[in-house]
Structure 1
């Protein structure tokens, strides 16, 4: 029980730290998303690997907000292999291929009222950096 309580307390502490240091940024991002969706745009979401799961959490399902659209590149997120590195070798390689983000972006059409959220735990993989530059 001590481990569970420690986990709970540290999680609450982390959430309070985020609230205390990032609330203005979160509110600003929420306003951008609401304004874009209200004007007929979409909020595109992109994350590679496990960061894709955060995109899926924001993707509409019954009872959720509409207007969020995930850009899921299965080659960067498919961990189905049961041998080797649990299927991670291919996606880890592709995250480093320069120009891959441009190829992903070429598959979609974006409008003037759209917004983009890029999720990454590292923020340094070429596909993430190029995606941010590409949507700018």
Structure 2
């Protein structure tokens, strides 16, 4: 397969130009503002490759916005799980992991959650989103609608991240 660099560049430029017109961006900005003005923290979570996006949200040197990153490794670093738990191939698919991660985190009522998952179907992601909503928090999902809609949920409820989020920021990945 040959990729035309000019067509690729034009496609990316078109996607970037559409960002300010996306009403979900405006809604997300409102939720960020509400959380920060209310003394809340932006709680970011992503597993696998999506953890890189959560790392960009939280923990930046000199950042002015209060942020925190939740991670699978928190089970070992802050909990009592053995190091071998992180070697499980199915860890991000296990819904029970979400409650343990959330219970280890210093979460306050005004916190906003941003959950990142390209597919939005793995058990830990959907369960974390479910728990966050049950506890009354606002939730922003960063995901690929095309990917999420093309695959089945791996959560026992059959739900996906896009079903639970207040705002869905579509990364437009195929």
TM-score by length of 1: 0.75
After superposition, the Cα gap between the structure-2 partners of 1:49 and 1:75, relative to the gap in structure 1 and judged at 3 Å, is farther
Task: Indicate the residue corresponding to 2:36 in structure 1.
Answer: 37
Task: Indicate the residue corresponding to 2:163 in structure 1.
Answer: none
2: CA distance between counterparts of 1:56 and 1:63? 14
Q: Is the 8 A contact 2:58 2:69 kept in 1?
A: yes
Aligned pair 1:115/2:112, yes or no?
yes
Task: Indicate the residue corresponding to 2:13 in structure 1.
Answer: 12
After superposition, the Cα gap between the structure-2 partners of 1:12 and 1:134, relative to the gap in structure 1 and judged at 3 Å, is same
1:59 Cα offset (Å) = 2.1
**58-67 or 42-51: bigger deviation:** 58-67
Per-residue CA distance 1:1-24 (angstroms, 9 max, x = gap):
x8543332221122234444xx21
Q: Is the 8 A contact 1:75 1:90 kept in 2?
A: no
1:100 Cα offset (Å) = 0.8
Among 124, 129, 134, the alignment partner of 2:126 is 129
- Paired residue secondary structure (1:35): helix
Aligned pair 1:71/2:70, yes or no?
yes
- Paired residue secondary structure (2:90): helix
1:114 Cα offset (Å) = 0.8
After superposition, the Cα gap between the structure-2 partners of 1:9 and 1:74, relative to the gap in structure 1 and judged at 3 Å, is farther
Larger helix fraction of residues:
1
Structure 2: state its 5+ residue gaps: 76-85, 134-174
Q: Is the 8 A contact 1:60 1:66 kept in 2?
A: no
Structure 1: state its 5+ residue gaps: 77-88
Larger strand fraction of residues:
2
Task: Indicate the residue corresponding to 2:172 in structure 1.
Answer: none
- Greater relative contact order (CA < 8 Å, ≥ 6 in sequence): 1
TM-score by length of 2: 0.60
CA RMSD of aligned residues (A): 2.5
2: CA distance between counterparts of 1:63 and 1:109? 21
- Paired residue secondary structure (2:71): coil
